[in-house]
């Protein structure tokens, strides 16, 4: 089951494009966002562990995104 609500993905697409959004498009965005979010979280977790912390911080997320080319 998706962690990100389809309605949230629908709003993102509508707000950016001003167009109507098919349910399949919103579901596809959720799938992509969750996959990329997982990759980003794994990388941020590695950075946190490298810094000998048990907490992932905003800087870890930002650096991980930069390293992953996001």
Q: What pLDDT, in 10s, does the model give residues 7-37?
A: 999 999 999 999 999 999 999 999 999 999 9
Our CA angle for 27, 31, 35, nearest 5°, is: 165
What is the model's pTM?
0.83
- pLDDT of 1 over the 80 cut: no
Per-domain residue ranges of the chain = 6-67
SS3 content of the chain, % helix, strand, coil (to 5): 70, 0, 30
* Positive or negative: CA dihedral 40, 29, 31, 54: positive
Class of domain 6-67: mainly alpha
The CB-side HSE value for 69 (13 A sphere, CA atoms) comes to: 0
């Amino acid at each position: 089951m998706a962690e990100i609500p389809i309605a949230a993905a629908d709003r993102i697409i509508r707000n950016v494009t001003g167009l109507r959004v098919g349910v399949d498009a919103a579901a596809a965005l959720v799938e992509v966002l969750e996959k990329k979010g997982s990759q980003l979280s794994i990388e941020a977790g590695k950075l946190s562990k490298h810094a000998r912390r048990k907490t992932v911080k905003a800087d870890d997320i930002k650096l991980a995104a930069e390293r992953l080319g996001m």
